Amino acid sequence: MSDFLLTQVINYGAPLLGLIVFIGGLGVPLPCTLLVIAAGAFAKQEILDWRITALISIVCVIFGDVLSYSFGYYSREKVLSRF
């Protein structure tokens, strides 16, 4: 059973972390900091590769922030005219 769980963390760890950090970058309140700390612990134990985990996390949070900013920037006029 522990081999199965270890395989799931290795296969889905960094991409799932990237997805959660991306959604958190959009502004949804998720425990991203806790997950990044846990990913760092997995990287220290060499369960996850730290380079891939760090790259995926940074790229996903940047895309989430840019998309969130773009939503506000391009919908500014419609919101201001309505209110």
CB atoms < 10 A from the CB of 33, how many?
Answer: 10
Q: Is-contact 54 65, C-beta < 8 A?
A: no
Its domain, for residue 57, covers: 2-82
CB atoms < 10 A from the CB of 23, how many?
Answer: 15
**What gap in Å lies between CA 7 and CA 9, rounded to an integer?**
5
Structure tokens at 18: 């990237």
Q: Residues in the chain with pLDDT < 50?
A: 1
What is the model's pLDDT at position 44? 92
Q: What is the pLDDT of residues 24-33, one digit of tens each?
A: 999 999 888 8
What is the model's pLDDT at position 1? 45
Q: What is the pLDDT of residues 43-56, one digit of tens each?
A: 999 888 899 999 99
What is the model's pLDDT at position 73? 94
**How many separate domains does the chain show?**
1
